[in-house]
Amino acid sequence: MNTEGLLAARMVRLKSSAIRELLKHSKMEGVISLAGGIPSSALFDFEGLAKATQIAITEQPEHAFQYGLTEGSHGLRSRIADLCKDRGIVATAEDIVVTAGSQQALDLVMRAVVDPEDVFVVERPTYLAALQTLELAEAHLLSVGSDGDGMKVDELAEILKTRKIKGVYLVPTFGNPSGVTLSLSRREQLVKLAAEHQFLIVEDDPYGELRFTDERLPTLFEISKTQYGHANNIIYTSTFSKILAPGLRLGWVIMPQWLLNKVAIIKQAADLHASSLSQTVAENYLALGRLDKQIETIRAAYKQKYNVLAELLERELGHVLTFEYPKGGMFLWARFREPRNCTEWMKKTLEQGVVFVPGEFFFSDNPDYSTFRISFATATEEQLHEAVARLKRAL
Amino acid sequence: MNTEGLLAARMVRLKSSAIRELLKHSKMEGVISLAGGIPSSALFDFEGLAKATQIAITEQPEHAFQYGLTEGSHGLRSRIADLCKDRGIVATAEDIVVTAGSQQALDLVMRAVVDPEDVFVVERPTYLAALQTLELAEAHLLSVGSDGDGMKVDELAEILKTRKIKGVYLVPTFGNPSGVTLSLSRREQLVKLAAEHQFLIVEDDPYGELRFTDERLPTLFEISKTQYGHANNIIYTSTFSKILAPGLRLGWVIMPQWLLNKVAIIKQAADLHASSLSQTVAENYLALGRLDKQIETIRAAYKQKYNVLAELLERELGHVLTFEYPKGGMFLWARFREPRNCTEWMKKTLEQGVVFVPGEFFFSDNPDYSTFRISFATATEEQLHEAVARLKRAL
């Protein structure tokens, strides 16, 4: 590992330790946590999950408890391919590797494609744990800003005038932490740039199904297929964590064939394959036909929470805060109108009994300390009221 | 990645592809497979597993389906600590990280401790997928031979006269692929060398419980604690795959504190944590108190299969083959008395309808082509009879 690699690794350690330390507070008695990016277990379809598990242990015990294929069971991959059709993604089981959550998809992909010093471009802000996988792979990170229309693709175009890049990582739909969605014109612009400059796009899509409106923008994968007849440089990852149950630790990645074999070989060395029990349960759950209704339930609940939160924030804190208006997902990204260090501020909010994630942790460089991320998925409406009141008292 | 790194990665790819290609044969109609290192699902305690799963979905659904701790659930880690006491290992939940099988333990540990070009010493032959993790971490591999008493520690001592090494990886008990066990005196010698020369020992112990006799040699971990009062340079990994169910994808690693935080941070980036569902099932299974009896069942069955196989091999093929006599585990390692390329030979055995894993794949260097590994765990006694007859016909 070269010096920069060591520095990056140290940064990963520091960030993770700081975050881990901070998040300990969220477990404290009486503290309302708006911090964790975790879905609400009050909304889990425990009845359906129990049914799916029951079938696994009574009818498919060997499938559930014996070793399986590195790429994932063929049955589950076929079901995932079907599920992705609704997302405008034409893929077969053979294009898919089942992973331990989309987190593992990111780690495996970065290990497969990034050589040390390869340039990867991320959004500012971006998903913290994606930064960790990029830093472990010793990527050289560059960042571009984002606004209400998502990543500023024009800034990327500027970079491409002078730099050769390996890839772009982004959460284009209901982003984490920003909550914002990349506009259609920027999507098309990004896919065009990738085709022209031959770089990879890692399209991380954990939240795309959690929309609050009827609007569904095409995935980057879909745009590439439509415009160029292939998606050879698009790597699409998604997960069951936000639509079914994160404890299953099941995600997937759809890749071009040149990459798939490489990822499968690394996965084999990394953990052989994802939990057979989890895979069997997920496959059975999909076969029960309950997922669409479950997603509707989550959408309605998160939308309601978001509406309550946005109204409260505007009314109670609108004089000091601005924020974008997400159209889906689990996060709201707030910024103080006047500069304020939110990591410092959280000491005060903690005294009042409310925590969030300070924004600085989501930046690979040039952190905006005046920002913070609110997750509205787990708190009840009552808790959201109380949380905003506490934030106000901590001003 | 430097040139050597690229070469290593290519080697991983080649080996894996070759093995994957070969193992496809083992799925062919009518072919008896002695290839896969997979436990016999005929011996799985499906009743106990079903009970444990039933408890998870009825009594602990949130625990089973929500996110959990990166290190693994505290309850499971405590149960693992208890289980390890019987192996002479004094550890608490805080010394343990639950992993996706011991395969992931190896990958995480190698990512945490190996910088490119660091020297790691392995046995000749050694576990193929450990080689893969070492090669992905860009370790510089050296190897020492082994015989009926396991790794030739004298050869390691020779290396240490001129080279600084980062660590030694080995399966000291009922090794894969060799089946042999490191003798007590060599264990003591190895631990002493590690203390003197300050290198790490990765003690991979998936098979230790599968003994055919009453003899239990102390683990390297135990020897270090006894002799030096600590095990600060011993990394002990084990798994539920061979004693309970590999489909759960659950293993664990016991480490000194200086390493544990580093491994946990990499695990967080790698997949957040192991399947909550699998962890809940394993914890419940351990609480049911059925594991000891289950291990007895497996021991008795594997011992019987091994005895049948060893007798058949001696009688039918003893004139052309030699082999060591494992005292436990799942593998028998055979060598032709006269040079023979077993990868080539497998084409003939395949025509007769029997496959194994050619020995060459288990060497980091200087492969002995005259060797091959037989897994006796899954075949029935009848199949073992037929398999040996087919091997004989293929001579």
Q: What are the pLDDT digits (tens) for B288-342?
A: 999 999 999 999 999 999 999 999 999 999 999 999 999 999 999 999 999 999 9
Q: Express each pLDDT in A314-338 by its tens digit.
A: 999 999 999 999 999 999 999 999 9
A25 touches chain B (CB under 8 A): no
- Per-residue model confidence (pLDDT) at position B70: 96
Closest CB from B248, B270, B273 relative to A277: B248
B36 confidence band (pLDDT: 50, 70, 90): confident
Residue of B nearest to A279 (CA): B247
CB of B100 less than 8 A from some CB of A: yes
State the greatest distance between any 2 C-alpha atoms of chain B, in Å, as a whole number.
Answer: 61
Domains and CATH numbers, chain A: 3-45+293-393 (3.90.1150.10), 58-285 (3.40.640.10)
Q: What are B324's two structure tokens?
A: 């060591």
- The rounded distance, in Å, linking the Cα atoms of A187 and A190 is 5
Are the Cβ atoms of B247 and A272 closer than 8 angstroms?
no
Report how far apart the first and last C-alpha atoms of chain B are (Å, whole number).
Answer: 44
Q: Tokens 């410092």 sit at which residue?
A: A344
Residue A40: closest C-alpha in chain B: B66
Tell me the average pLDDT of chain B: 93
For A240, nearest residue in chain B (alpha carbons): B65
Q: What is the pLDDT of residues B147-186, one digit of tens each?
A: 999 999 999 999 999 999 999 999 999 999 999 999 999 9
A301–B contact, CB cutoff 8 A: no
pLDDT at residue number B2: 35
Q: Cβ B272–A265 below 8 Å, yes or no?
A: no
> Out of B63, B67, B136, whose CB is closest to A269?
B136
Rounded to two decimals, the ipTM of the complex is 0.94
Residue ranges of chain A with per-residue pLDDT less than 70: 1-27
Residue (of B296, B285, B237) closest to B100 by Cα position: B237
Q: State how far the Cα of A290 lies from the Cα of A285, in Å rounded to an integer.
A: 7
Nearest CA in chain B to A61: B46
Q: Which of A74, A81, A76 lies closest to A236, judged by CA? A: A81
Of A117, A154, A151, the closest CA to residue A134 belongs to A117
3-class state of residue A336 by DSSP: strand
B242: chain A residues, CB-CB within 8 Å: none
Contact A44 B62 (CB under 8 A): yes
pLDDT at site A29: 78
User: What residues of A are in contact with residue B63 (Cβ under 8 Å)?
Assistant: 247
Is the pLDDT confidence value at B3 over 90?
A: no
How close does chain B come to A275, measured CA to CA in Å?
A: 5
Averaged pLDDT for residues B222-237: 96
Q: Residue B168 — left, alpha, or beta (φ > 0 → left; ψ -120 to 50 → alpha)?
A: beta
